[in-house]
Amino acid sequence: MDPLRKKALRMLMRPIVRFCLRGSNTIQDFLDLAKVVFVEVAADEIERTADKVNVSRISVMTGVHRRDVTRIYKDESEPIRSSPSVLTRVIGLWEGSRTYTTKSGKPRTLSCKGDDSEFHQLVRQVSTNIKPGTILFELERMGLVEKTARGVRLQKQVQRMGGEPEKLYDLLSRDVESLVSAVDENISANGESPNLHIRTEYDNIYTEDLPTIRSWLLEEGKEFHRRAREFLSQYDKDITSKTGKRAGATVTLGAFSKIQEPRDD
């Protein structure tokens, strides 16, 4: 293994091992899951090249014994595949498309009764596999929309996932994969930085000011992403049509904050 990548892998593993130890997971738990993930990702990579996926190719690619590959690939359930939430895409289209916003750019109250309603049309632009009623129920459950006499109104423009560990871990997984890929591209760009990678950290903050700081970070972060969605929606095929132009590219912008109080001496 290349020494630099070996060092990088060791650094990347530290937060994962810390996560395991906090949950009382042993190295054997980690190794068992690592085999599964190696097989799943290898199968994905082989599929991308349009080659036939088989046990031998996965075994050679990963170093996982053929017996284990067979057990995992042939017998295990469908692998977990992360993808952007349909709810997030519905909200993004609602916020960004002129069809669903006012002249001032704010999300309109949409009619929601019947197949021809504005809300049903909105959902069908994002997905034809999930019923609009199901999406509406979930948005109501999460407190993101409110039903009024005129229709359904978007309450909060940033999706909350507090208290839903599976969704939060899915978001974490996609964040980590995107960040690692972005850093890899920056490293191979020979001095240039095609991807944003910035960290701001102050390590001697007054603890009495932490509530003010936390509130500011949350509100400013939401506003920043609202403006980012408004900007990116101008270039998304689902929202802005450009006849004959190729689409399908993905643009990801992540953000997080972490406040850690000082340890007691």
Cα separation, 147 vs 170, whole angstroms: 29
Q: What was the pLDDT predicted at 65?
A: 92
Kindly state whether residues 226 and 131 are assigned to the same domain.
Answer: yes
Q: Alpha-carbon Rg of the chain, whole angstroms?
A: 22
Which residues sit opposite 144 in a β-bridge?
A: none
Q: What was the pLDDT predicted at 179?
A: 92
**Is 185 within a domain?**
no
Q: What is the mean pLDDT of each run of 10 residues along the chain (265 residues)?
A: 88 92 89 92 86 88 91 65 67 85 88 92 86 88 87 71 70 88 88 87 96 95 87 83 88 92 80
Kindly state whether residues 98 and 53 are assigned to the same domain.
Answer: no
**Is 232 within a domain?**
yes
Kindly state whether residues 15 and 128 are assigned to the same domain.
Answer: no
Kindly state whether residues 98 and 222 are assigned to the same domain.
Answer: yes
Domain that holds residue 221: 82-160+199-244
Instruction: Note if the pTM is more than 0.85.
Output: no
Kindly state whether residues 139 and 24 are assigned to the same domain.
Answer: no
Kindly state whether residues 236 and 111 are assigned to the same domain.
Answer: yes
Domain count across the chain: 2
Q: Name the amino acid, one letter, at 89.
A: R
**Is 189 within a domain?**
no
Which of 50, 75, 100 corresponds to the end of one domain? 75
Q: What was the pLDDT predicted at 75?
A: 66
> Which residues make Cβ contacts (< 8 Å) with residue 90, sequence separation at least 6?
122, 123, 126, 135, 139
**Is 177 within a domain?**
no
